[in-house]
Every structure is written in structure tokens, then in C-alpha cells.
Amino acid sequence: MPGAADGLQQLHDSITGWFAETARDLPWRDPSCSPWGVLVSEIMLQQTPVVRVLPVWHEWLERWPTPAGLAGEPAGEAVRAWGRLGYPRRALRLHAAAAAIVSEHAGKVPDTYPELLALPGVGSYTAAAVAAFAYGRRETVVDTNIRRVQARLVAGSALPAPALTAAEMRLAASLLPDDDATSVRWNAAVMELGALVCTARVPKCPACPVKDSCAWLAAGEPPPSYVPKGQAWHGTDRQVRGAVVAVLRLAEAPVPAEMFHHAPADLGFAPEGIGVPLAALHRLNPPPEQLERSLAGLLADGLAELHDGGYRLPA
């Protein structure tokens, strides 16, 4: 990794030049995309692949083209429209952020890092990303992809540390171009490099525009110092919670608790409507205590509420 100013400039040119030629055509990268559209994309893209986000993002922006549109509807509608993106608490946070944008910023997504960070559910990464990609601010944007590129390119490590460190933030800040426009392109380019080329499991090193400067390649591609732990799904409370939310999304009235606990009689024909996600939940056959724990967790997280003796999405 070149350390001199001319070497850093070469690094910037190589990666941003590669990005200019190969970047995916994503709607939130379009100059006409509103800051609200960028914010929605950043929340949706957390732990969710682009291919799953794209159709839901389009549906959201068509239905709620402004924060005021979303804020004017019940929080449960945000959860309903979230579909199968997973981690539906993000829908509640986005609804809360929309309400705050309306009440505190006259319906306009704020354009500075501190104001963005003050929005409900917006963390340091999202605040920096929206400031950079929606408003062209020079901000240090560090996501999982950027961390991985930095680890290999500069530190010579196969993977970054399990959790973000202050040293990684300092490194990212030291690599950031000085002018606003180039810094925005750099952030997007390094992120794209990590997503498409410098991937976690099978990096496509021959296609990398900076392979000749990569400390990890120069070191002989040493293996990771730890084994990343994937998040379990089958049999977990998360799976059961997701199955319950799928029922509530289709329900037009509160769903009695016994419908979650006991499968209806087999009438000899395929279920329809709410019966489809209910059947999927019952096929999981969760223990009663796990189902109760999952329902209680949804209530505690604000993803469901009790009404007329049944469960429904929040009003």
C-alpha cells in the first residue's frame, strides 16, 4: 500500500476509475434520487442484499415519496410494507425517523451528520452515508465492505476485526480524499469493491483494480485469524417471530392467541389468506414457551400490540 501522497492519489484514481466503469446502476445512486430515498435505502440495506431491497424500495418510494407520507400512516403499515426484508424493527425506526423529520425538520431530511445522527434509529454509519450520498458531504463512511477492503489492502488481514475499532475509523479517515466530491465517490467505490470483488468468502482478486498494492496478496493470502460465526436461523426465536409477523401482516383483524398455538382442522383444501402464513408457522412446530417468548418479544419491541383479545400490527 503506497504511503506517499502520490501513491494515495494513485489509489484514489484506480478505485474510483474502476467504479466509474463497473458500478451497478442502483436507483438510490441516481442524482435525481431524493435524500429521503437515500435514507430509506440505507436502512433497508442493513444486513439485506441489494436484490431483495430493490423491489421493496421501489414500492416504498412509490407509496411514500416523502417522510410526511410515511409519518402520516400508522407504524403498523410500515411493518406491513416491509415485507420479507427481515429485522422488521428497522421499519419501526424508519417510521419514527420520518415522524421526527416532519416534526423537527419541516419534512426535510437533515443534511448534516449531527442532525442525522439525532434521528431515531439512525446510527453513525447511516448518518455518515446519508450526509455523503444524499448531500455530498465529506464524511468517513465505514461499512462491512469498506472494512474488509481496508483490512486486506492495508493491514494484510483476510478479514477485519469482529467489531469495528477506532483504528479502523482512523485508517478510513486517513484514506479519505480531501475534496467533497471525490470523497463521496471514494466511499461509494470502496464499498462497491468490497461488495463485488473483495468479497468475504471468494474474493475475485484478478479483477481487483489495486491488486498490485494489496498487502494481503503480498503476504500470500494468510487465512483469517478467527472463524466468522453466521447467524443461526432455523429453530430460533427470530424465525418464529418472523413467522408471527408474516401472519400479522396479512391479518385484517386482531389474531387470537390460540390461532398461533393450535393449527386449524384440516378441511381438505389448501389454506388461503391468513391461513398461508399460519400454516407456515405451525409447520415450524415451535415449543409453546418459545412461541410465548416470541409473542412477548414482539409486544416489547413495538412490532405487535394486543387489541380486542388478539394480536395485531401497531396502530
Catalytic (active-site) positions: 42
Q: 292 CB contacts (<8 Å, ≥6 apart)? A: none
Q: Could you give the CA distance from residue 194 to residue 55 in angstroms, rounded to a whole number?
A: 23
Q: 94-99 — which CB contacts under 8 Å span 24+ positions?
A: 94/39, 94/40, 94/43, 94/70, 94/121, 95/70, 95/71, 96/120, 96/121, 97/39, 97/43, 97/67, 97/121, 97/122, 98/64, 98/67, 98/68, 98/70, 98/71, 99/71
Angular region, 34: left φ>0, alpha ψ -120 to 50, beta rest: beta
Smallest CA-to-CA distance from 279 within 259, 298, 295 is with 259
As a whole number of Å, the end-to-end CA separation of the chain is 54
Residue listed under C-alpha cell 486486506: 152
Cβ distance 155 to 60 under 8 Å? no
Q: Could you give the CA distance from residue 95 to residue 105 in angstroms, rounded to a whole number?
A: 15
Residue listed under C-alpha cell 446510527: 123
Q: Could you give the CA distance from residue 52 to residue 289 in angstroms, rounded to a whole number?
A: 32
H and E: helices and strands count for the chain: 16, 3
